[in-house]
Every structure is written in structure tokens, then in C-alpha cells.
Amino acid sequence: MKMREKPRGQAMVEFALVFPIFVLLLVGIFDFGRAIWINDTLSTAAREAGRYAVVHGGSPSTFCPAGPPAPKSNAPDSTCPPYPNGTAYPQGSRQAIKDVAQRWASGASSSVTVSVCYGPVATCNGDVDAVGATNAPHTPVTVHVTATVGLAVPSLFGFSSFTFSSSSTMLVNN
């Protein structure tokens, strides 16, 4: 009986064909997970910044309100005490709200953009309020957070970056 020779190099050729596909799938799984994480992070940032805006609204009892001033604000001068990051913002500034969103979205991307809009607006871009909107109680506040992120697998196919965004709308309650 004659013994058949074992094929030489067959496993190496199969490995060379399958390995790049396996690595592409593995990196794609990580990219997909990162995209889900970024989307969740931006949603949390918008929600927490919206919560900050509604809690620091413009009722007469609120000292140093955030957002456009409501009638009869209690702030004695144009500068409020420092916020947790040590910055003193002028009365009616949206920067404190934006800083809250930036802190929550800090891990998502280095290019996070935050817009804060008061009143019933169709889309919130560039801090544009509804006509006559203030931060008085029961006024809707919309916080829109956007981040541009590059992912590995899509960049192999010519897509340089993706834009993720999230919005949260709440009513000023204080």
C-alpha cells in the first residue's frame, strides 16, 4: 500500500486568506461597540445638561440662573459665584450648561459641540431661542450635543468620520 504525501503549506495559505477577514470583523465589532458607547455618552450628556438647565432656571427664588434671564431675577450683580469648575459666568450665561455637557461627553470625542435653546424650537442649532423665550418656569429647554468621530473599519472604505448627535428637551421647573 502506498502512503499519500501530506500537502505542504496548505494551512499557511488558508490562514493567509482567512486572517485578514477575521481581523476586519474583530475591529468592526470594536467599532460598532464604540459607536454605541459614543451615542449613549452623548445622550447622557444632553440629558444631564438639560437637567442642569431646568434646575438652575429663572424663578424669582433662583440666585444666578442659567440661560436667558427671566423677569425679576434675584442675582444682585452681573457676575455670579464660581461654578464647580471655578469659572464665574455672567448672569444669564449658557456656558455653565455647556460645561456640564462637555464634562459628560469628554470621553466621546475631542470635537464635542453643544447648543442650548430656550422656547419651542424646531431644531436647536447655535443657541437660537424662540422669539421672546426666557428661562422662566415651564419654558422648554433643548440641549443638543454633537460629536465627530473617526472609526477604523469605515476609514478603510473612504469614510473619514461620522457625526453622532443627541438632544434632550425638558421644562424649566425652578
Q: What is the pLDDT of residue 64?
A: 67
- Nearest C-alpha neighbor of 128 from the set 116, 140, 144: 116
DSSP H stretches of helix in the chain: 10-55, 95-104, 152-156
Asked, for residue 44, whether it belongs to a domain, the answer is yes
Asked, for residue 4, whether it belongs to a domain, the answer is no
Cell of 141: 429647554
H or E segment and range at residue 168? strand 162-171
pTM for the full predicted model = 0.78
In tens digits, what is the pLDDT along the chain, a chain of 174 residues?
677 776 677 888 889 999 999 999 999 999 999 999 999 999 999 999 999 888 877 655 666 677 776 555 554 445 565 665 666 666 667 888 888 899 999 888 778 999 999 988 888 888 888 888 888 888 899 999 999 988 888 888 888 888 999 999 999 886
Let me know: does 96 contact 135? Beta carbons within 8 Å.
no
**How many separate domains does the chain show?**
1
Q: What is the pLDDT of residue 75?
A: 47
Q: What is the pLDDT of residue 123?
A: 87
Asked, for residue 5, whether it belongs to a domain, the answer is no
Asked, for residue 1, whether it belongs to a domain, the answer is no
Contacts of 12 (CB under 8 A, 6+ apart): none
Containing structural domain, residue 116: 10-171
Asked, for residue 2, whether it belongs to a domain, the answer is no
Asked, for residue 21, whether it belongs to a domain, the answer is yes
